[in-house]
Amino acid sequence: MPIISYREALNAALREEMQRDDSVFLMGEEVGHYQGAYKVSQGLREEFSSRRVVDTPIAELGFAGVGVGAAMVGLRPIIEFMSFNFSLIAIDQIVNHAAKMYQMSAGQFHIPMVFRGPSGPAVQVGAQHSQSFESYFCYVPGLKVVCPSTPADAKGLLKSAIRDNNPVVFLESELLYNTTGEVPDGEHLVDFGKADVRREGKGVTLIAWSKMVDVVLDAAESLEELGIDAEVVDPRSLRPLDTDSLVASVKKTGRCVIVEVGWPMCGLGSEIAFQLQRECLDFLDAPVERVCSDDVPMPYANNLEQEVMPQVKDIVAAVKTVLYLD
Amino acid sequence: MLLGSMSSSADIRIEPDTPEFLEATTAEELLPLYRTMLAIRRMEEASAKAYSVGKIGGFLHLAIGQEAVCTGAVAALRPEDYITATYREHGHIYARGVTSRAILAEMWGKKTGVVKGLGGSMHMFSKEHNFLGGHGIVGGHVPIGVGAAFKAKYRGEKRVSAIFFGDGSTTIGGFAEGLALAALWKLPVVFICENNQYSMGTPLHRTTAARDITQRALAHDMDRDRFDGDDVIKVKRRIVSAVERARETSRPTLVEVRTYRFRGHSMSDPGLYRTREEVEEWKKGDPLVRAKRRLLEELKVGEDTLSTVAADVKEEIADAVRFADTSPESDSYLPYVLKD
């Protein structure tokens, strides 16, 4: 199986789906002539022309809305946000329009479209470019939310997102664009709502998604040195959420730490913890623990940024808490 | 100049009759349009009555006084053209061909409503009629209508997208960005501003410095037109020229039609921010009165014909009310959250 980067996997998904279906088009800032701010759309304008790889002015609300309208009448838009932080300008289109149209129209108009781009911290990009968005969008009925953590999932989930008949918020990670892994050539679809057990273990369940999966896998290595056998589960899609797989893992291990790079208050981990306590109360040997970013806007300085984000040591400490080892 | 010294009198003046107003028509053309306007008015009067006794909940925004705009503009479009509208859309969807039964049943929250009781007064849609809503976020629907035009151009179809919005929409980003993108990409859009002089209770001169809304088109090198919306034939003729520009040359037009709602912003609004004299002045330009006068005086249509039309409309709306009253309650929402 070829080894390619997360960025190349996304590019392959876009290319293959655009080859497959003429109703699919990509629209956003710098996606065409510039080849993408993060080069995810490299080469696509040459192959598909400016008709289908559409550069926009800086007008997120406008072009996200153009996507919603085009989706209502039969196209399959992919709207790229250069950074998901800019999606806040378009959130009216995502939440009030894309997510609600199917119900408001009693099923007459569905919105087969993808909003995609990098979400979460990168490296020292400051408070306005470092935010995580899964909690915002998971809140909304009518949306699907996915967060690939590997190149293979990036390709398979994006292809599924483009073929989905609903609006999908597809959250990439800038920190993962250069990571590499085995990715199947051609048709490779990953269904939504199916968690991936990235590491099997019996001692504690660690739940994480997107970039945090890598950090958690590193933490699992450290825990192994301490004799703790951690299982790592990546939900991959957050809405729909594969609660059954998370519950199965926690029933096996009896302990759980949820790790997310978002803020703690109303973070997605709160909802997952709620569902776990409801489904697994009799199996839990300790309260579910969470590791999040600190409850502050992201500072610029590298040392402070590291301090804010979940680190291996934070995860190890949380695991010790649920194992009553401190 | 102090803001308070800016009189709004210039904004409410109805222009004297122009050659366009006297543009020739026939009874065959005007009579059906008159009937549509009359039905819209009677339908909205019936909905106001129903609201007062609790048959309609939530918000109800009437457009009584503005009927010539939606009726004339929709008549300028072809069935394959797209329409996107605001929450004040009862007339637009009726003029497009959705029945008064389906519209009133929707307001009643019934299963037989045009969107099965899931949308209500503000959110009516009809795919069959290329009617893309029915939107409650002021200006948020403007880019959506631009998106429908994007699709038409993408597919090489000669279809036009008409986007209706109020003067209150013209201060928000969705309008500004939608206008900019349609101009940049030369999309077949007709932007139709129904300038009814007030965004809710705030008059135009307190919401925007440039009172000629079509000046916004200048920034985008876009064609524009501006006229009074008291005569349905005039509205139709002027919109036709914008529609044909869009269809034949794929260029958008910003049209401002000056009009007036005789009632408040919604049912809860007694309209205390405007004088009785102002309302009475505008009522002199009642589009129904004008159309009726043209039919009788200019086109020599008999009183008996108009009486027949009035009776026919009265029965249609009475039937629609009975239909809404007796229709089953809305019963399902789960199938419409996510599509398979």
pLDDT, tens digit (0-9, with 9 covering 90-100), for B261-271 = 999 999 899 89
Question: b vs e for A142-166, b when ≥16 Cβ sit within 10 Å of the residue's Cβ?
Answer: bbbbbbbbbbbbbbbbbbbbbbbeb
pLDDT of residue B24: 87
Best mutation target, A50, A91, A103, A163, to test chain B (most B CBs within 10 A): A103
Q: How far does A89 lie from chain B, in Å, by closest CA? A: 10
- Nearest chain B alpha carbon to A67: B147
Question: With 50 as the cut, is the pLDDT of residue B11 above it?
Answer: no
Q: Which residues of A touch B148 (CB under 8 A)?
A: 69-70, 72-73
Report the pLDDT averaged over residues B17-23: 56
pLDDT at residue B309 above 80? yes
Contact between A106 and B125 using a beta-carbon 8 Å cutoff: yes
From the list B137, B146, B338, the residue facing A69 with the nearest CB is: B146
Q: Tell me, yes or no, whether A191 lies in a domain.
A: no
SS (H, E, C) chain B: CCHHHCCCHHHHCCCCCCCCCCCCCCHHHHHHHHHHHHHHHHHHHHHHHHHHCCCCCCCCCCCCCCHHHHHHHHHCCCCCCEEEEECCCHHHHHHCCCCHHHHHHHHCCECCCCCCCCCCCCCCCEHHHCEEEEECCCCCCHHHHHHHHHHHHHCCCCCCEEEEEEHHHHHCHHHHHHHHHHHHCCCCEEEEEEECCEECCEEHHHCCCCCCCCHHHHCCCCEEEEEECCCHHHHHHHHHHHHHHHHHHCCCEEEEEECCCCCCCCCCCCCCCCCHHHHHHHHCCCHHHHHHHHHHHHCCCCHHHHHHHHHHHHHHHHHHHHHHHHCCECCCCHHHCCCC
Report the amino acid identity of residue B117. G
Number of separate domains in chain A: 2
Q: Which of B125, B250, B338 to mutate to test the interface with A (most CBs of A within 10 A)?
A: B338
Where residue B19 falls among pLDDT bands split at 50, 70, 90?
Answer: low
CA dihedral B263, B266, B270, B276 (to 10 degrees): -20
Please report the DSSP string for A193-235 in residue order.
T--EEEE--SSEEEEE-TTHHHHHHHHHHHHHHTT--EEEEE-
pLDDT one-digit tens code per residue, B130-172: 999 999 999 999 999 999 999 999 999 999 999 999 999 999 9
In a shared domain, residues A91 and A208:
no
Instruction: Give the residue from A12, A27, A239 showing the smallest Cα distance to A114.
Output: A27
Q: Residue B147: which of A68, A107, A110 has the nearest Cβ?
A: A68
Structural domain containing residue A281: 196-322
End-of-domain residue from the set A120, A154, A182: A182
pLDDT over 70 (residue B7): no
Does B147 contact A59 at a Cβ distance shorter than 8 Å?
no
Confidence of residue B210 (pLDDT cuts 50, 70, 90): confident
**Nearest-Cα residue of chain B relative to residue A108:** B127
Question: pLDDT (tens digit, 9 = 90+) per residue, B178-204?
Answer: 999 999 999 999 999 999 999 999 999
Answer yes or no: is A39 within a domain: yes
In sequence order, what are the residues at sequence separation of 6 or more whose Cβ sits closer than 8 angstroms to the Cβ of residue B130? A73, B79, B80, B81, B82, B83
Q: Do A61 and B143 touch (CB under 8 A)?
A: yes
Residues of B in contact with A68 (CB under 8 A): 143-144, 147
Write out the H or E segment, with its range, that includes residue A153: helix A151-163
Task: Out of A62, A105, A108, name the one closest to residue B143 (CB).
Answer: A62
Domain boundary among A148, A182, A216: A182
Q: Would you call B151 and A59 a contact, using CB atoms and an 8 Å cutoff?
A: no
Domain co-membership, A128 together with A46: yes
Average pLDDT over residues B288-304: 96
Asked if A111 and A211 sit in the same domain, the reply is no
Q: Decide if A283 is inside a domain.
A: yes
- Domain match, A213 and A247 both: yes
- Distance CA(B110)–CA(B108), nearest Å, equals 6
Is A216 within a domain?
yes
CATH number reported for the structural domain that contains residue A9 in this entry:
3.40.50.970
Per-chain mean pLDDT for chain B: 93
Are both A168 and A202 inside the same structural domain? no
pLDDT tier for residue B3 given thresholds of 50, 70 and 90 = very low
Nearest to A66 among B132, B143, B339 (CB): B143
Give the domains, in start order, of chain B with CATH numbers.
29-263+273-326 (3.40.50.970)
CA distance B263 to B284: 15
At residue B2, the pLDDT reads 38
Q: In this structure, are residues B168 and A123 in contact, taking their beta carbons and an 8 Å threshold?
A: no
Residues of A designated as active site: 60, 129
- The whole-angstrom distance between B235's CA and the closest CA on chain A is 26
Size of interface A-B (CB pairs under 8 A): 145
Order across the sheet with B82-86: list the strands. B131-135, B82-86, B161-166, B189-195, B253-258, B223-228
Do A53 and A137 lie in a common domain? yes
Is A187 a member of any domain? no
Q: Answer yes or no: do B82 and A25 touch at CB < 8 A.
A: no
Which residue in A has a C-alpha nearest to residue B112's C-alpha?
A: A106
Residues B73-125 have pLDDT tens digits of 999 999 999 999 999 999 999 999 999 999 999 999 999 999 999 999 999 99
A75 vs B123, B142, B151: nearest CB: B151
- Which ranges of chain A have pLDDT less than 70? none
Neighbours of B292 (CB within 10 A): 19
Amino acid at B253: T
pLDDT at B18 over 50: yes
Which of B184, B188, B251 has its CA nearest to residue B223?
B251
pLDDT at B12: 40
> Is residue A190, in this structure, part of any structural domain at all?
no
Look at strands A237-239 and A144-146 and give their pairing.
antiparallel
Whether omega for the bond prior to residue B134 falls within 30 degrees of 0, making it cis, is: yes
- Confidence tier at B334 by pLDDT (50, 70, 90): confident
